[in-house]
Amino acid sequence: NLSTKVQINSNDEIGSLASAINDLSIELNNYRTNRSELLANISHELRTPISYLKGYAQVIKDGQYKDEEELKVYSGIIEKESERLAKLIEELFELSKMEEGIINLYVQSIEVEEVIESALQKVELKAKKKNISLLYETEKGISSILTDGLRLEQILLNLLENAINYTEKGSISVETKKCKSGICITVEDTGLGIPEVDIPFIFDRFHRVEKSRSRHMGGTGLGLAIVFELVKQLEGTITVESELGKGSKFQLTLPDELQKKSYKNKN
Ligand code: ADP
């Protein structure tokens, strides 16, 4: 039984062994609690879209709709919820692979500017639809770094998509600078902001400021958890500052070169 503690009667080697065993059992218990919390979260997250799918499929099957228009709305919900479900499963799989440390990094010399521009291009249409302007500013002399360019783009896309999703009006600006530990990239928006109480948990799996808002956007609550893991793999750091109603600023730092040599090179 892991809740049984080993009694510590001495300060010698046996005493420290007993204390190490006690620490280990606390850690194991925490791990078990986290794991069952995670499983509860996952099953809840999977159950919700499935109940929508079932409900609306039944409505359609039983012909409980007024007209073609309503039928279109209901099938639209089914389509959207299936997409969300697929995204959720894919992201869960990706997260678990990353946490097990089984992702391959393809490290190359990449032009930071090119990666940022490519990410900005991909979200341009989405921003345009909401009338949000995208701004990009870079310090002179930002050159290439040794990292995984596709992973960096994935991080930026997640941050940019969130910025667009959670901004009603205004702009999103990306800025790059040289900094002590390598390069700093900030993604700042003039959006809804994140309440102070949520900030410490914002990179946790399934943590959302407002569930219904995120659901409406097709969110899974896993985007920032993936960002956090990816940043870790790239040996960087990520922090956030935010003010409710004013906007959020995510700051990413990446080293000029990865220290860990366990990555695969493309060639
Ligand atoms: P989701 O799929 O819900 O967007 P994320 O992990 O990407 O999941 O983000 C977690 C939560 O953090 C979101 O539900 C949202 O409430 C909040 N959030 C993330 N980015 C921003 C942002 N730029 N502005 C305001 N809130 C944000």
Q: How far is CA 223 from CA 197, 220, 252, in A?
A: 19, 7, 15
- Asked whether 211 and 225 are in contact (CB, 8 A), the reply is no
pLDDT for position 267: 46
Distance in Å, CA 162 to ligand 1 centroid: 6
Distance in Å, CA 53 to ligand 1 centroid: 24
Name the residue at shortest CA distance from atom 3 of ligand 1.
221
Which atom of ligand 1 sits closest to the CA of residue 225?
6
**105 Cβ inside 6 Å of ligand 1:** no
Which atom of ligand 1 sits closest to the CA of residue 215?
3
Q: What does DSSP say about strands 144-147 and 182-189: parallel, antiparallel, or unpaired?
A: unpaired
pLDDT for position 262: 55
For 86-136, write each residue's pLDDT tens digit: 999 999 998 888 888 778 889 999 999 999 999 999 999 999 999 999 999
Distance in Å, CA 172 to ligand 1 centroid: 15
Cα separation of 102 and 96, whole Å?
A: 9
**147 Cβ inside 6 Å of ligand 1:** no
Name the residue at shortest CA distance from atom 7 of ligand 1.
223
SS3 content of the chain, % helix, strand, coil (to 5): 50, 20, 30
ipTM of the complex, rounded to two decimals? 0.98
**223 Cβ inside 6 Å of ligand 1:** yes
Instruction: Quote the distance between the C-alpha of residue 192 and its chain's center.
Output: 18
End-to-end CA distance of the chain, in Å? Answer: 51
